[in-house]
Amino acid sequence: MVTLLAFGAEGQDLHFSQFFNSPLTTNPANTGFIPDANYRVGVNYRNQWSSVPAPYKTYSAFGDAQLLRDRWYYGWLGIGGVLLQDEAGNGALKSTKIYASLAYHQLLSDNSLLTLGFNAGLANKRIDLSKLTFPSQFNDAYGKWFFDSQLPSGEHFVSSSTEYFDLQAGMNYAYFPTDNIYINLGFSVQHLNTPRETFLDGDNQVGRRYIGFLNASLKVADNVIINPNVYYTRQSGAQEAVMGTWAAYNLSGEGGDYQVLGGLYYRWNDALIPLIGYQLKQWQIMFTYDVTTSSFNAADSRRGAYEISVVFRGFYPKSNGNYNKRTYLCPHF
């Protein structure tokens, strides 16, 4: 498939270029919002700015499923969970977050769906003070500046670890008028409770993060489905916009067991992001590479980040051992 992106970032929470493959961190209403399966599990890995002295590494694992889909004709529940970990500055700062998600999906008609969801969890940030240096620890006593770890930092750290409760909420709307067209848009608010987060003697709060997106899946030929996306997020004055398209080309017959994937994204004022991937039955793997286009390319030699995602989508088996392949809500092969 092929996708277009736009992205302008001044600062950011944990994020992935493949936001569409990290559904529970994009919007809790995505929990159980699976148009082509009954459940899914996935992992994400992002390595950012590996050519600079303080790279970032982000890991994620998630899973979600539909409940009561066969009992409630007009709706179902979605449950799930996600684990995130981020390492910055050669391990000096580590962030770990774990969330549980719940969503309700209501069919409004035969071709539209409305979803409300939320997730709640715990976040921990830990800093290794021994790996930090401060201006007050540089000494010129011998006519040449050098670092002296015995000098005080001048900072008043209360703790090297901080924990807080975190809350998110969101909604989705999907429209699927034919078997060849699927459109959905969503909006979410992260850090709804603006939790306190600081290592110092202060009252710093995590600002609310607002995320909006528009996705589509369009079957344009018997063996081609394209998936355009637009994504925007804003937090405490920092913003990020991404747009693009990825496409799937079916190499097999009915069922689409073997597909090649390809696309292109653009993060506004920041990076060009090509995408390649492969679909093997229910397994999908995608690789993206952020090519820096901003002035930061002088520092990272245009090697912004690379990202890998692996997602498995499955169906519940019936008692006779056959898959319960309910009607798809999105285009499929």
The pair of three-digit structure tokens given for residue 244, joined into one six-digit string: 């693009």
Domain limits, the chain: 2-314
DSSP-assigned letter for residue 13: S
Element (H, E) at 23: helix 23-26
The pair of three-digit structure tokens given for residue 315, joined into one six-digit string: 């169906």
Q: Is 319 exposed, middle or buried (0-12, 13-18, 19+ CB in 10 A)?
A: exposed
Encode pLDDT of 256-294 as tens digits.
Answer: 899 999 999 999 998 999 999 999 999 999 999 999 887
Element (H, E) at 300: helix 297-300
- Predicted confidence (pLDDT) at residue 210 exceeds the cutoff of 70: yes
* Separation between Cα atoms, residue 30 and residue 38, nearest integer Å: 13
- The whole-number pLDDT of residue 302 equals 57
| Percent of the chain residues topping a pLDDT of 70 | 79
Encode pLDDT of 231-259 as tens digits.
Answer: 999 999 899 999 999 999 999 878 889 99
Decide if 174 contacts 183 (C-beta within 8 A): yes
Its sign, for the CA torsion 302, 272, 63, 103, is positive
DSSP-assigned letter for residue 157: B
The pair of three-digit structure tokens given for residue 145, joined into one six-digit string: 């500046």
Strand segments (E) across 50-200: 56-67, 75-88, 93-109, 112-127, 138-139, 146-147, 161-178, 181-190
Q: Is 110 exposed, middle or buried (0-12, 13-18, 19+ CB in 10 A)?
A: exposed
pTM for this entry: 0.85
Residue range 2-314 in CATH 2.40.160.40: yes
Encode pLDDT of 124-135 as tens digits.
Answer: 998 877 666 666
Please give the residue that has the higher pLDDT: either 237 or 120.
120
Out of 54-58, 221-225, 326-330, give the one with best mean pLDDT.
221-225
- The whole-number pLDDT of residue 255 equals 81
Binning pLDDT at 50, 70 and 90, where does residue 161 land?
confident
Encode pLDDT of 78-103 as tens digits.
Answer: 999 999 999 876 657 889 999 999 99
Q: How far is CA 186 from CA 32, 60, 114, 303, in A?
A: 14, 21, 10, 31
